[in-house]
Structure 1
Amino acid sequence: MGLTGLEIFKQLPKTNCKDCGHPTCLAFAMAMAAGKAGLDQCPHVSEAAKEALGAASAPPVALVKIGTGEKELTLGNETVLFRHDKRFEHPTGIAITVSDTAGKEEIAARVGQINKLVFDRVGQLHSVNLVAVTNDSGDADKFVAAVKVAAENTAYPLILITEDTAAMEKALEVVGSKKPLLCGATAANYEGMTALAKKYEAPMVVKGADLNGLAELVEKVVALGHKQLILDSGAREVHKVLADQTQIRRQALKRFRPFGYPTITFVTNEDPVQAVADAAVYICKYAGIVVLQTADPADILPLITLRLNIYTDPQKPIAVESKIYEIGNPGPDSPVYITTNFSLTYFCVAGDVEASRVPGYILPVDTDGISVLTGWAAGKFTPEKIAEMLKNSGIAEKVSHRKVIIPGGVAVLSGKLQELSGWEVLVGPRESSGIPSFLKQRWNV
């Protein structure tokens, strides 16, 4: 179990200096106990206290990194069982399998198909994260050849799936510098696999026959000096995986150290619809990595969308950057629209401006990612902020007129805004779907 706030407080300097961002040392200690602050935020803590509190302040689920460079995947650092308690930190990694039974050209084509699994969602690009090469052939040379082809054709980190230590060693001679995920160590081979993981400083999957066996095996691997681990309970039936995933997270949050690592799950159902449903269950219930056999965009997109929704901060709305956005190819006579930077609001407006077939400029005012009426009610969508946006965004240099269109729901802002900005304020429709007809009736320069 983690230390209480009072136990942490006893180790702190008790200066109430506020350098940590909290009003008192006690408040900081309580935040640490709740997993909402880290010991590194206190610049005055002693070395003895660091040693005593280090384990208590570390996240219950360890941080593990797979791969190198821009596509490196980070997992772990999770601190809660339920998303609304705080947030989930690192999104589930989605891995697609590549079998070593296929030929070189077929493997390259399969990897190319995986590389194309990139989707634009609310203005952001989201993709799968890993390529999992499986030793289905049982032949070490075929496995190494498949790993080499996959590595040459993708920037994604690799998962090397084989329990053959000799095959794993040969594959690591080819891609060991890329820090692939070794999958995996079992009760029969853990010593050899751990030696390879330590040699190449690579993360490793530890697979148990059940949860008790998994905990015992993790302790043996850690005793050998390797802690970059991913857990596989060994279950493959959905109900069993769900139970194991939940139990592993619960025990990790209770500071049961053998379960304090991210997890990996495997989707084995051959029915594509059921496979997507199974993967969705694993993403919802704490899987660090989900391994799928399908590379069909129609199967992957729902999972990408689900992951995006689960791994957003529930206390922070999704927002777009507050800047000038050009829809179509606007010129000096094009209309200027004001809205907020709540992503759903912005994309609704952008879609309806595009549908009007009249190029225009959209200026989303920074309201901390909340909608028009909510922003107005909260005092974040005000004439002053809109006038500041018109002045500082550079829109005045892009258009020859001084007309701006505001949402009809906040018509009350028009008088003050016109006075502050010097722009003529046109009150637009209450809903952005009315923009096309509004332009036909009201817009002229």
Structure 2
Amino acid sequence: MEDNSEFAAVTITESQLVPWPRVAAVGAMVAFSLPTFVTGLEVGAGLSPMNTVWALLWGSIIIVIIGATMGVIGAKSRMSSYLLVRIAFGDVGAGLVNIAFAVSLLGWFGVNINLFMDAVAGLGRDVWGIELPPIGLAIFASFCMTLTTLIGFKAINLLASLLVPVLAVVTVLLAKFALSTQTLSEVFAAEKAEALTVGEGISAIVGAIIIGAIILPDITRFLKHWSGAIYTAIISYIIVQMAVMGAAALAGATSGKDDVLEIMLDLNLGIGAFIIVIAGSWVLNSLNLYSAVLGMKATFPKLKTVLLTIALGVIGVAAALMNILDNFIIFLFYLSVIFIPVAGVLMIDGLLIRPKAYRIETLENNRSLNWKGFVAWAVGAAIAILASEGITQPLSKIAAIDAVLLSAIIYIALAWNEREKKQVISV
């Protein structure tokens, strides 16, 4: 296990490459997870039906652009997102970014364990009439997810390939049963007070999946051709994500309830709810832990993979017991604002400023700190947060867009001379 090259600071070899549908299955599996259903339900509850559609559409488009771009860079370079971050931000800068990413991923791990233990305990009580201890469920779930992570991408991919068709059927049934109580025209005709703006809804949708889009190279590096990264992003974030969030929002609108599992039980989808909780949490959290391990290994390569994976799994359970779920929408909102600027810097650097630097050889003599990228990330995030709090005037009404655009513009302004120098030298 310790010699598993998936976790090492090396590129993926030809023997490890797979066809794009297998990678797309993992990306789609993330969109079928319980947090995606919860996000759709929360956004649907806070917006009118028409504004919910707009938020879903624009949020998904933003994620597709970011995910596809990051995925292509990963597929072409055969490197994980954390090695790409080392090239973009320098070794020291990447250490700070990767640690922050690992903390965020462990937060997500905690959110999913939190959802898992509450949901399974509730389903056990309501469906089978038995009391299941939440802490015991959390420990058992973390053990299964950690074991899957230790095996690696092949195990995660196998689970996703088997479960995606099942979860697709459950999603279709959820929408079908929701429409059996009200017609679509009746749903859109209903008037409701809006607790969110469309911009806040878009930011919540972006926040729900932004980390997955930024770390998409962790799975697209296994692709045989970079075009598969575009297919993966479209299937995951336009087709599946919109369908899942739309079905949840529709079910919430027709039932008037705000608990997706309670809605499923009311619609006689108890087994479907159980499958979504078990399958979605298992694959998504295995991928979260997998990426967290990649990030820590990229920053601290001497750490033992097995011990590191187990330690991060334990920390994830501790995060679950902190009830991060209580502030889920707030968590998603700030997650999008803080981390999306990383993608802005990396995409500009990888596509415009230094595209030829994105290869494994660069790491042999990598710079210590790309202060321009670090400044662009920090300023982009800070200005977007200040704007979202009403302290400064926002560029747009969508904090996530402000963050990525500001970081990209700032980085272009600071680093443009590097591109010009490179062109002069190469002539």
Q: Is TM-score (shorter-chain normalized) higher than 0.5?
A: no
Higher RCO, Cα 8 Å, sep 6+: 2
Greater C-alpha Rg = 1
TM superposition score normalised by structure 2:
0.22
